[in-house]
Structure 1
Amino acid sequence: MFIIFGTRGIKHTISESPVLMNSCPNCSNGSLVNKLYRRWFTLFFIPVIPLDVVDRFYECNNCKSAYNEKIKDILNQSQAVQENVQHQARYTYARALVAAMTHMSVIDGDFAAEEEREIMDAIEQFGDVKPELMQVMEQVKRDQNKDNFVFNLLNEARNELSAEAIMNILAQAGVVLLADGIIDKSEENLMKEYLIACGLPKDMYRTIIDKLQTKNIAEDEIEEVKPL
């Protein structure tokens, strides 16, 4: 009989922490719920023993934006300060996302047209900083991770954002790895290197794949009901 065991990160709501009502900087009317990621030992893929806490953060119950816990203090600042912090966090997120997506695309030596379209779609989401993101893409296409450029951007994002935001970055970046329908071992190892560069346990990889699969399922459902 084979025994299958491992670890995985599971998101929990911190029930004793007050909800920050109608305070999401992104959508304005969403409330921020305090959550944490805890690693669990799994047996036959079932979580059985709680392990260490990986990160605590706030998540909007409306738009699902995730914030470092310091957002609670920032919300007490002026509107101008809040907007500046939000803009900087968005810029940091975008740079890390484009760098990771591009690096994943060129790591096999073949920058496919489908992969470039995925990256350009991501860049268009941040139109106000599009020139800067285009520079990031071109630099990574040319130099890949020279001088740890990609890892440094991810680490910068981890210092400013939450673990949830980082895993959202890597899950969105992982879309380019599925261009051929599979993630091979070298691509899996690269994703784990990203996690380590962000100061996160490499076994959170499974959590990223869960996010990626959920995204793909949601897109499939949308495709099924799209009018002709």
Structure 2
Amino acid sequence: MFIIFGTRGLKHTVKDSPVLTNSCPSCAKGNLVNKLYRRWFTLFFIPTIPLDEIDRFYECDRCSSAYNESIKTILQQSQSEINETQKQANLKFAKALIASMTHMAIIDNDFAPEEEREIMDVMSKFPELKSELTEIYENVKVYGNKNNQVFNYLNEARSQLSSETLINILAQAAVVLLADGSIEKEEENLMKEYLIACGLPKEMYKTLIEKLKLKDMAKLKEEQLN
């Protein structure tokens, strides 16, 4: 008889932590609920024993935006300071997303037109950052991860964004990997390296793939509706 075991990260609500009512900086109406990622020992893919805590963060119950726990302090600042913090967080998010997305697209030495369109579509959502993101895109497209530039953007994002947001960045970036219908071992290893660069255990790869599948399903549904 084979015994299949391993570890994986699961998200939980911190029940004894107060909810920050109507405090979401993104939608201004949602409540921020304290969440945590905990590593679990799994037996036959079933979580059985809770292990260490990976990260705590706040998640909006309305728009699903995620923030690291420093949001509690940020919310005590003036509105202009909150706006500036959000602006900087958005900048780090966009830079990390375009850098990792472009790197994933070129990792197999076959930069497909479909992959480029995915990247251009994402860049169009940040019109105010067009010049900065275009420069990052061109640099990574030509030089890849030379001088660890992609990992550096992920590390910068790690300093301000929550683990949930970092995983969402990688899940969104990894959409380009599905252009050929599958994720190769080399691409899987790359995503695990990204997780480590974000300060997350490589076991979170399963969580990343689950989010990737959800995003892919949502995109397919949107295409069918249009």
Question: For the residues of structure 1 that align with 2:115 and 2:217, how far apart are their CA atoms?
Answer: 20
Look up the SS of the partner of 2:94 in the other structure. Answer: helix
Task: Give RMSD over aligned pairs.
Answer: 1.1
TM-score (norm. length: structure 2): 0.97
| Shift of residue 205, structure 1, vs aligned partner | 0.6
Give the structure 2 partner of residue 131 of structure 1: 131
1:105 pairs with 2:105? yes
Aligned equivalents of 1:103 and 1:216: distance in 2?
19
Aligned-partner SS, 2:212: helix
Which residue in 1 is equivalent to 2:49?
A: 49
Partner of 2:215: 215
Shift of 1:223: 4.4
Which digits, 9 at most, give the CA deviation of each residue in 1:4-56, with x for residues without a partner? 21111100000111111111111111111100000111111110010111100
Shift of the 220–111 alpha-carbon distance from structure 1 to 2, 3 Å rule, reads closer
Provide the residue aligned with 2:65 in structure 1: 65
User: Percent of aligned pairs with the same residue?
Assistant: 65
1:146-157 paired onto structure 2 within 5 Å: 146-157=146-157
Q: How many residues align?
A: 226
Long gaps (5+) in structure 2: none
Which residue pairs with 2:38 in the alignment?
38
Aligned residue for 1:82, secondary structure, equals: helix
Superposition deviation, residue 3 in structure 1: 1.7
Q: For the residues of structure 2 that align with 1:63 and 1:72, how far apart are their CA atoms? A: 18
Gaps of 5+ in 1: none
> What amino acid is aligned across from residue 8 of structure 1 in structure 2?
R
Tell me the distance in 2 between the aligned counterparts of 1:187 and 1:217: 20
C-alpha separation between the residues in 1 aligned to 2:212 and 2:89?
Answer: 22
| Cα distance in structure 2, aligned partners of 1:206 and 1:155 | 21
Name segments (4+ residues, structure 1) moved above 6 Å.
Answer: none
- Tell me the SS of whatever aligns to 1:160: coil
Asked if 1:27 is matched to 2:30, the reply is no
Tell me the TM-score normalised to structure 1 length. 0.96
CA distance in 1, matches of 2:159, 2:5: 31
Deviations 1:71-104 (A, max 9, x none): 0100000000000000000000000000000000
Alpha-carbon distance between aligned partners in 1 of 2:112 and 2:126, rounded to the nearest angstrom:
22
TM-superposed deviation, 1:198: 1.4
Structure 1: which amino acid aligns with 2:184?
Answer: D
Distance in 2 separating the partners of 1:21 and 1:175: 34
Letter paired with 2:106: V
